[in-house]
Structure 1
Amino acid sequence: MTLSKQYSIATRHQRSTRIDSDLSADFFPGLVYHGTAQATLETLFRQYGQTGQSAFTLTGAYGSGKSTVALLLAGLLHADADIRSSALNAINDESKTLLEESPPYQEGWLQIRSVGGVSGPIESFWNATLRALEEHPKTFKVSVLLEKYRNANVESDRELIRTWKALFEDVAPYVDGVLIIADEMGKSLEYINRSGGDLHLFQDIAEELSRIDTPVIFLGLLHQAFSEYAKERGTKLQDEWAKIQGRYSDILYNVSTDETVALISNSIKTTLPQSSSDQLVQCVLDALDDKQQRKELLLSRLEQCTPLHPLTALLLGPIAKRRFSQNERSTFSFLNSHEQFSFQLFLQQTSDQNARYDLSHLWDYLEANMEHAILGSPDGHAWATAADAIRKALKQDFSPQCIQLIKAIALITLFGKPANLTATEKLLLTATEITEQEQLNVCLQQLKEASCIVFRKYLSSWVVFEGSDLDIAGLVEEKIDQLHNSHEAIERINFSSQVIAKGHYHEFGTLRWAAQTVAVQLSHIEINTLITSRNGEFADFLLLLKEESEERLMELTRNDKSLIIACAPNASEIISLANEKYALDLIKSDKITGAALTHDKVAREEFRARTFNAESTLESALTSAFNNALWIHNGVVFDKETISEIATIAADSIFHQTPKILNELVNRNKLSGTAVSALKKLLEAMLDKEDSEDLGIEGFPPEKSMYISCLKNTSIHSAEGENGEHWFRDHLDKKLNALFAAAEQRLKDRKGSGANLSEIAELWARAPFGLTRGVIPIFLLAFLKSMGEQIAYYEKDMSGEFSFIAKPDSDYVHKLIKNPGDLAAKYIVLENDEKEWLQNLAIFAAAETNRNISNNILSVATPLVTTIHNLPQWVKNAHHIVPDNDKRNKTYLRIRDLFLQANDPHTLLIKDLREELITFGANDFTSQIDLLEDCFKTLRQKHEQMLAVIKTKVKTIFPENGEELAQMCQYVEQNSGDLRLKAFARELAKSDTGLLQWLESMIQIVIGRGKQNWNEGILQTASNKISDYAQDFLTVVKSQHSNGNTANSGKTKLVSLVLEDDDGKLTSFKREVRVIETDELQSTMNTIENQLSDLDDFYKINILQKLLRKSLEAKS
């Protein structure tokens, strides 16, 4: 059977006492009426009875029993006979006598028992007052009285005091007096300080209530003096608050070590029979160097503390009073704790009836659960030294009893003085399982040789060895003194917590958060820098550590809704902790102390723990400040809302035009890989399947949820459509209407140059819309499609310039996600004369392409641009379109180039083309269209005209046709050794087909270049080259005669000219020429002869031979 079956903690000690709910007759039996409690009540009774003092404060540590004493007072003055009788039984005769002589008692006192909390003192006092009226048996029966005060409106200090005075006079016939108990009065003072109020209420309580005829006793329970609650508001206010507390009689409630033992003994209950005596307790008392009277008093108390070791019971009181225990642990929270190495776990895990929860157990409990707090307290250095000594012992091969011994020495060294305990050898024989002096001597010697402990002769006791030369606590204080009036520590606070606007997120689906920033005062922070340095935050909670006027903060927050400002209610605590944290940083960075820390293990451990404690405590203080401050936003003070609720109000105010998009997958700024893939698929479906239900998305993939949230539920898209339209930007939710209207206005503002889509994305990302990066591409594409033919699309080309594109494609939507800055759109709005010009162009384009053309810029521009781009390459590069008219030629060339270089249909048709036509002199639409029509006709026919000229030349050289030409070509193809001549002959054979492809092929053969590489110069060469190939062709044909075939021998003759060069060598020039009848030549011959008739024969011969040579050389 474990000890937990035999020992337990009394129910009354398992939780803190509540004065507003724990008062009953069952509360008082077993209550320990120790000396401090007795002195407190008797002091109050004497001062009330002898001096008329009616306002009291009871100041004591957390968990020391102040609320219990307050309830005891309430029980003694209660109207219920059973409660009063039970309370009277708990006090001694001296106190009863004093009670009878002091407060009057017949009907019982009206008891207003209030507990301070998050609400203000006025509210808590008045609620407690109404409960008191219902609780007292006499006042409860007076219905008129109850109804009167239930309907009273009490909202200010003055109203509360005035109403109380009236009430106390009204109840005087029914009660002996009024007892007001204010538990957790410190929280009420914190509330007043936080709200920037004053202590008029508590000043009036002390002054006004003492002047009325009805007896009144006010008792406030505090942890510290009034002035301590106003530290951060300056010494002047502290002095004022201290003066107000001077109107109260402050009773110090400081429970002694022995009284704590009495409380512990009373709280531990057992099912075992009471033993006659406890040998261990007697041994401990024998080892104490103290008065016999104290030992006799402790004997029975320590015996009743079993299974706590007597030394543990004696040390719990001093430990509970240390700074690291305050607000965290009381003696009774220790007794009830189930933490690691706790007393409760000891009871549950131990079966030995004789086992005790000794100092070794207590050390383990403190080390596991409170070391971080201890190291950051004034006891930190001593604890670190003791902990290092114990770790040093653990590394040795020491017995478990030896380890238990050093833990006992450590705790007695640290906390034994208030209990008058020193680690003498006689006391140590009772502290552990070691009961023999010889065994104790061995252990002590081992620990001493390991430099874990040292003997102090003047104390005749052992203490933990001082293993460190650095006084961290002293160094911290020194550095803090150096920081006096400096704000460096504050400026180095790194508080990176954020506030989520949860309500905004749940309503609109967009996650927004605000930064939390700390500053000394407004003059120490650059607001513009604060705003521009945001990284995703929509606002800043700016916590100031010095008071600023509320009017100034209101004005500042009205001017910029992204600022939420408050003054910290616990500024002094934050400043103090920040100074400590910065002081520790300075110690570490100091050349001397930093080096010493590196080599001092004890100091290093203390420093580490103290730094951790300072950081965590500072963070807790900042968190508390942010949660409890009175925040001002948009000129309004928020005193009830949580910080998240204020963030929601701010987000709703700033982003008042944000649409509702409840989709966590896409409504965010950073998308997952899955979300990006789904987004691409959705945008592609928006391009290709707008007339399909759900954009053709089957099943329920991620893109389907995006479609439903962003497009379907918002009515932006409909598969059915209206008048052929599937995308809508009007008559939607008013916030979506505003969103699209802003984008449309931006396009209209940029109608001359076009708007970069990143501009619209940034517009939507800012207030008042606040769209996320995930949603923007969807709404952007939907918006562009809803604009229909009113916009033109542009995309950056390889040169980085924007070029017109007919419509978005998959590459376009990918850029829409990754880099909308590479995309642009232009809003197209036409004046009346521009509309008329476009209509004329549409008619021209329809005639040009022989199909119906819609009357919009893109529909008109596309076929005309296509026509020009489909011209042969050489025509697109030609410089002589109209050879005989230079002005017209230049105009046609510029018109052609406009269409070739066009990247903006609006600029092309409405501006550039028309300006060019007007420049030529065509001033009206009819003449302009006529000129444009002639230009297109000229360009389109240029290639055919070129082919016609070359065809005429070919037919001049080869007048044959039909079978005769075919035979000539066949012969050349079969007998020529020149592959290109063979190809020439093969294409020439096709010349009778009526098509011109043979001529294009022939040109490519003779010049050796494809059509894409033709130009005017090359085509001129082609004409000469054809003559050359014709000579070779005819030469091969002539060879038929030499082979006996004379069919064609009479149609060509060989002309040869032999000349002597300057060097005496003979050069021959020859050419096959067509035979022409003499009659056809006679006229030309006569003309030449007449021109040469006056010349002598030498001149005639020289002229004729040069002309003949020139003609024969034309082959080259």
Structure 2
Amino acid sequence: MTTATSTRTPSSPSSSAPQFPAGIELVGSQMRSTNLERDVEDALHDPYVGARAVDVLERIASALADQRRTRAWSFTGPYGSGKSTLSNIIDALLGRDAQRRSEAERILEEASPALAQRLAAARDAIAPEGFLGGVATARRESVVATLSRALHTAAARRWGKRVPKAISTALEACADPDRAGAKEILGAVTALTADGQQPLLIVIDEFGKTLEHLASHNEFADAQHDLFLLQELAERAAGPNGLPVYLMTLQHLSFMDYASRSSELKTREWAKIQGRFEDITFVPHHGDSLHLLRRRLDRSAVDSAGQALINASAEASADLWTQHGLGVLAELGSDHFADLYPLHPITALAAPILAAQIGQHDRSLSGFLNSGEPNTVRHSLAQHSDQNVEHASTVRLPQLYDYFLNSGRTTLLASANASRWIEVDSRIRDANGLPDVDQDVLKTIGVLNLIDSDGALSATAPMIHFALHDPTEVADPAAFSALEERLADLVRRGFVVYREFSGEYRVWQGTDVDIDGRLKDIISHFDDAAVIDRLGSLIPQAFVASRHSQITGMMRVFYTAVSGPETKTVAAPDELREPADGLVVFHLGTDADRPTVHSPLPVLVGTTADSDVVLTTATYLVALKELSSQQDIDHVARREVMERLVQAEAELLELLQDAFYPPSPQASWSLWHTGIAPGEKPAASGLTARSLSGLVSLACESVYPHTPHIRNEMLGRHVLTSQAAQARGILLTAMLSASGKENLGLTGYKAERAIYHGVLAYLGLHRENGEAQAESHHESLLPYGFSPPGEGHEHAQPAWNALNEVLTGATERVSMEEVIRVLMSPPFGLKAGVVPVFLVPALIIRRHDVALFEEGTYLPRLTIDAVERLVKGPGRFSVKYTPAGDGQRGSIIKKLMVSLGVEAPRSKALRNPDLLAVASALITRVADLNKYARSTKNISADARAVRTAIAKAVDPDELVFHALPKALGLPEVPARTRASAEAANTYVERLTAAADELVAIENKLRAEVVRVLAQEFRLPAELSKLRTQLAARLRGFADAVLTPELRGFVDFVLSDSLEDADWLEPIVVRLTNSALGDWNDHEAKVFPQKARAMAAALDRVGHLHHAGREVRSREEKLDAQLLTLTDSAGVEQRTLIYVPEQARGEADTLAADVLKRAEKALGPDGARILLAALAQRVTEAATAASERKAQG
């Protein structure tokens, strides 16, 4: 868009600056809009009665003269088309005010003497003293309310405060629109016009507002009654015998247009009402507009030389007007052009057309002449008027274009011709680097393109030449040739398009897309609920409580939402994961149908009497959004849609601000502290502030009264910048590593130092230990430390106390998210950026009685890594109140520390040191057990239960005070349990005994293994003696040939490389193929059998080995054989027998003879029985001999 900051100086080949004869004046001020309720008591200020007004007054005069004609009219037309001004004239012509009537008759007589005489005669025939005048400007309200105000106005204008009783009674009956209805209104109308009273003129301005209200509420019974009231009133005023009532409504659209969003049935009902009114459409009229321009320009003060120049320009204009065939548009002569000076003839014709296109008509036209903005006629005259001028310049089309694009852009983009305006403006903006002369050509072509409808003003080269030059300079062949060359160059460079068939130049291509038609089609498929659902994303997403944020240092943000009568629930933001501190709901309904909101955050709900107009604007905006996403529109249409979209968004925002403006009587605001439950009354109603931001601050002061104050804007927000997050990380590290130093050891004045002073120190959480009560223990000998906020920091105490209550109340594990939620929710409202700095000191100060867990695992230390993880994912962490210093718990911990022989570590970083020392000692004892000790059932029930409880432990508090007492069949020890020495002693003694038993399992098993080996090898049970004597016994096998099993066992026994304590393990492995620590109860049970087998095998081998040596020492040949006898008890007796070689034959013969005799004497098994008896006797004799030998 081309911008301008001063009066435009047109560039043309013939002039460098305009020249206007001095003395030209603009008559009257800038045209103001008529307000009927205000202006019916004032003078008329000499309005112009043009052709449109004459036509309307003709109809009024005919209705007065012929009572059979309709007496109900609807004036339809856009803003600035003169509807209200004409209604004011009609009120003056028919009213009782003689001065206003005389002025109106004079004005009408100047326009049409015959009409003035006829209307006066018809009026005097039925009301010589004049009509009662009831005027009202409609609001978004019922028809009853609007008519009631009009009737009261009529009575007040006629009788003042002395209204006749009957009329006063009838008016009182309809004074309250909530209780009054059609019956009361008709009764008041009848009372005003009864018994020879004057006829009644009712004029309702801005009636479209009432129609919008009815259209949006047409499903309600009272709205339908309003429709019938309009119909009945018009019917009662019809015909010669009807009530003497003349009804006029003024609106921008017809009744049917307002009903376009209703159902087909409702639309037909509206059509019936429209049929009772004669619709008069106010359309632009060239003659009226040109006459308005002539009346506003006065050249009577111009001197004779200037008048001559103006007349020369006017005569040239008249000739050119005729040459170009423009008489078909308006019959103008030289006197008209003289009166229109300093306007160029084409400018005088184009200005009203452009004004009509943007919907402001006479108002826009008057603004072009008389406003103080750049590019107006007034501004040009003020800058370039002079007594000594050489020629009379004119205001040409480029200046007109600049005025409308700069001053009227907002309304222009909402006009029906917006697409052409947008494309023309886009092309000219693209040509921003062109010389001013070329830009003037483009603007002239653009305006001609915009105003030409029938070819009379098409942008041909002669017309462009005429429009670009003052009339006295048009006849210049060289200038025309230069223009043709310039046009050809612009065509060649793509800035304009030349149409050979018509000889016309254009700067816009146009579009075949019917944008307005598509918008209407889209809107027809919307209902209010669908629009409201989409509206939430189109309004500002949040409001900042500026004042409250500045006071507290916490950036307070309220999200926004939109609801309507059909909205049941509004989703609320999550106070932990979103930066919102509350919710602002723009409710396009009433207090009775407001939605529910489930949230711990505050909710501000606003309602407005202008909800209908907001919804209408929103519907248009949503439709534009929908249209912008369609793929079948060309780039020209898309550009227009996007321009409209931007404008509609701005308009909606402005409208929303106005409709819900807190000080406005149209808006009402209420506050709920924690969401809205069904039927719940607000905590505060009728809230008011200077702005919505101020209203949010007011809500914050009520809902967040205990917000801790900080003085650092980097941290007082939900999401930190990278710099702030880095500085906070450095501060948290210093809090854990340098808490005893001044300023936490931070030097310089970097961001982390600023956060320390503005947050940590300002909250009173870190100071000298002489002031820090929480650091008064013997271990706090450092000069600085953490402490609760004390004197001078009262603003932080409520939040600190609440944090301590949460930690103390966490008798079961509580998620850190829930702890943080308390701090971030009302009435504290800490921001997420501040929470870690507030929370870490509490965890440090309460390290003795608050345990910290990460994903269920107890954290014995609060490290910087843990804090970093806590900041990123608080949901992974939990806390638990674990008091261990007082009451029964304190007694138990002290006794256990003595019985278990442990001491609390002195590290300040360690959490719950006494409890942790006890728990660690117990856990360590079980953790150090070998496999056998962790699984054996050969222990007491107490030991088994304690072992199981400790193995499952993840929480020291749960282990010591809940799981272990329960395992021992004793009562659990919750926090704050009263001390009981007897109960404490019982628990400590049994727990200690069980723990000691668990520790002793391994030694007990080793002792049992030694005992079994000693028994089976018939050796002493002391490990050292067992080892020595067993080695001595088996040393003879050192060089013997043995099986692998026996060889391995013998080698380990004979090895002297290991200590006694280590010697036993390989012996066990050799016997069982399993280490002692990997045993289970079954392996322990079968070990004696394996040891016995090894002992027997070595014994057998040992006898044979010994016999072999004796045989080899003799000269005679002997055969050694070992006889083993095993009785029913499993006891074995072995006897070594030497058989001489020469005796073997005799022994075999004797054996055969003895066996026969045994079978004969003892039966078939006699030989076996004899063998058993012989073996028994032989082994017993051999054993006795061995014993005697051992004793001797």
Under a length normalisation based on structure 2, what TM-score does the superposition of the two structures give? 0.59
Q: Which residue of 2 aligns with 1:285?
A: 318
Residue 464 (structure 2) pairs with residue 439 (structure 1): no
Listed as ranges, the matches of 1:79-94 within 5 Å are: 79-92=96-109, 93-94=113-114
3-state SS, counterpart of residue 81 of structure 2: coil
- Residues 827/218 of structure 1: CA separation in 2 closer, same or farther (3 Å cut): same
| Structure 1 residue 295: Cα displacement | 6.5
Q: Which residue of 2 aligns with 1:473?
A: 513
Q: What amino acid is the match of 2:539?
A: S
Q: Which residue of 2 aligns with 1:304?
A: 339
| Structure 1 residue 240: Cα displacement | 2.0
Q: What amino acid is the match of 1:50?
A: D
1:999-1048 deviation per Cα after TM superposition (whole angstroms, max 9, x unaligned): xxxxxxxx9xxxxxx99759999xxxxxxxxxxxxxxxxxxxxxxxxxxx
Q: Which among 229, 232, 244 is matched to residue 207 of structure 1?
A: 232
More deviation, 205-214/895-904? 895-904
Q: Which residue of 2 aligns with 1:258?
A: 287
Aligned residues: 900
Unaligned runs of 5+ in 2: 1-17, 661-666, 671-675, 766-770, 778-786, 906-910, 971-981, 1002-1056, 1067-1192
Contact 2:290 2:349 in 1 (8 A): yes
3-state SS, counterpart of residue 250 of structure 1: strand
Residue 704 (structure 2) pairs with residue 668 (structure 1): no
Q: Which residue of 2 aligns with 1:511?
A: 556
Contact 2:93 2:101 in 1 (8 A): yes
Q: Which residue of 1 aligns with 2:90?
A: 73
Q: Which among 4, 15, 18 is matched to residue 35 of structure 2?
A: 18
| Structure 1 residue 356: Cα displacement | 1.5
CA distance in 1, matches of 2:338, 2:100: 31
Listed as ranges, the matches of 1:162-241 within 5 Å are: 162=184, 165-166=187-188, 169=191, 176-196=198-218, 198=223, 200-201=225-226, 203-205=228-230, 207-208=232-233, 211=236, 215-241=244-270
Q: Which residue of 2 aligns with 1:56?
A: 73
3-state SS, counterpart of residue 473 of structure 1: coil
More deviation, 285-294/303-312? 285-294
Residue 643 (structure 2) pairs with residue 613 (structure 1): yes
Contact 2:789 2:796 in 1 (8 A): no
Listed as ranges, the matches of 1:1055-1070 within 5 Å are: none
Q: What amino acid is the match of 1:497?
A: I
Q: Which residue of 1 aligns with 2:540?
A: 498
CA distance in 1, matches of 2:427, 2:932: 105
More deviation, 575-584/628-637? 628-637
- Residues 191/641 of structure 1: CA separation in 2 closer, same or farther (3 Å cut): farther
CA distance in 1, matches of 2:563, 2:224: 28
| Structure 1 residue 244: Cα displacement | 1.2
CA distance in 1, matches of 2:598, 2:921: 62
CA distance in 1, matches of 2:628, 2:327: 47
3-state SS, counterpart of residue 32 of structure 1: coil
Q: What amino acid is the match of 1:284?
A: S
Q: Which residue of 1 aligns with 2:1104?
A: none
1:42-64 deviation per Cα after TM superposition (whole angstroms, max 9, x unaligned): 21232133126433221223212
Q: What amino acid is the match of 2:646?
A: S
3-state SS, counterpart of residue 646 of structure 2: helix
CA distance in 1, matches of 2:942, 2:295: 115
3-state SS, counterpart of residue 114 of structure 1: strand
1:888-933 deviation per Cα after TM superposition (whole angstroms, max 9, x unaligned): 89999998999999763323423555578789xxx98656645666
| Structure 1 residue 358: Cα displacement | 0.8
Q: Which residue of 2 aligns with 1:359?
A: 397
Contact 1:23 1:71 in 2 (8 A): yes
- Residues 445/1018 of structure 1: CA separation in 2 closer, same or farther (3 Å cut): farther
| Structure 1 residue 225: Cα displacement | 0.1
3-state SS, counterpart of residue 232 of structure 1: coil
CA distance in 2, matches of 1:844, 1:391: 88
| Structure 1 residue 536: Cα displacement | 5.6
Q: What amino acid is the match of 1:182?
A: I
Listed as ranges, the matches of 1:630-709 within 5 Å are: 660-661=706-707, 665=713, 668-672=717-721, 706=759
| Structure 1 residue 683: Cα displacement | 7.9
1:137-163 deviation per Cα after TM superposition (whole angstroms, max 9, x unaligned): x42455989997689741248448625
Residue 881 (structure 2) pairs with residue 827 (structure 1): yes
CA distance in 2, matches of 1:554, 1:516: 12
- Residues 457/722 of structure 1: CA separation in 2 closer, same or farther (3 Å cut): closer
3-state SS, counterpart of residue 308 of structure 1: coil
CA distance in 1, matches of 2:921, 2:92: 107
Q: Which residue of 1 aligns with 2:116?
A: 96
CA distance in 2, matches of 1:845, 1:370: 88
3-state SS, counterpart of residue 63 of structure 1: coil
1:112-146 deviation per Cα after TM superposition (whole angstroms, max 9, x unaligned): 3322346666556555655555555x424559899
Q: Which residue of 2 aligns with 1:792?
A: 850
More deviation, 202-211/927-936? 927-936
Q: Which residue of 2 aligns with 1:411?
A: 447
Q: Which residue of 2 aligns with 1:1096?
A: none
Listed as ranges, the matches of 1:1036-1115 within 5 Å are: none
CA distance in 2, matches of 1:484, 1:58: 26
Q: Which among 897, 906, 923 is matched to residue 845 of structure 1?
A: 897
CA distance in 1, matches of 2:459, 2:380: 25
| Structure 1 residue 312: Cα displacement | 0.8
Contact 1:655 1:770 in 2 (8 A): no
| Structure 1 residue 257: Cα displacement | 0.8
3-state SS, counterpart of residue 852 of structure 2: strand
Contact 1:568 1:625 in 2 (8 A): no
- Residues 648/634 of structure 1: CA separation in 2 closer, same or farther (3 Å cut): farther
Contact 2:77 2:253 in 1 (8 A): yes
- Residues 747/186 of structure 1: CA separation in 2 closer, same or farther (3 Å cut): same
Q: Which among 329, 346, 349 is matched to residue 380 of structure 2?
A: 346
CA distance in 2, matches of 1:145, 1:737: 72
- Residues 161/642 of structure 1: CA separation in 2 closer, same or farther (3 Å cut): farther
Contact 1:504 1:651 in 2 (8 A): yes
- Residues 233/766 of structure 1: CA separation in 2 closer, same or farther (3 Å cut): farther
CA distance in 1, matches of 2:728, 2:271: 66
Q: Which residue of 1 aligns with 2:355?
A: 320
- Residues 118/917 of structure 1: CA separation in 2 closer, same or farther (3 Å cut): closer
Listed as ranges, the matches of 1:943-1092 within 5 Å are: none
Q: Which residue of 2 aligns with 1:332?
A: 366
3-state SS, counterpart of residue 879 of structure 2: strand
Q: What amino acid is the match of 2:894?
A: A
| Structure 1 residue 339: Cα displacement | 5.0
3-state SS, counterpart of residue 28 of structure 1: coil
- Residues 204/914 of structure 1: CA separation in 2 closer, same or farther (3 Å cut): closer
- Residues 537/823 of structure 1: CA separation in 2 closer, same or farther (3 Å cut): closer
- Residues 151/704 of structure 1: CA separation in 2 closer, same or farther (3 Å cut): farther
- Residues 342/826 of structure 1: CA separation in 2 closer, same or farther (3 Å cut): same
1:1072-1097 deviation per Cα after TM superposition (whole angstroms, max 9, x unaligned): xxxxxxxxxxxxxxxxxxxxxxxxxx
Contact 2:215 2:261 in 1 (8 A): no
Q: Which residue of 1 aligns with 2:814?
A: 755
More deviation, 554-563/442-451? 554-563
CA distance in 1, matches of 2:371, 2:761: 54
Q: What amino acid is the match of 1:670?
A: V
Contact 2:287 2:330 in 1 (8 A): no
Residue 927 (structure 2) pairs with residue 861 (structure 1): no
Unaligned runs of 5+ in 1: 598-603, 713-717, 943-1006, 1008-1013, 1022-1116
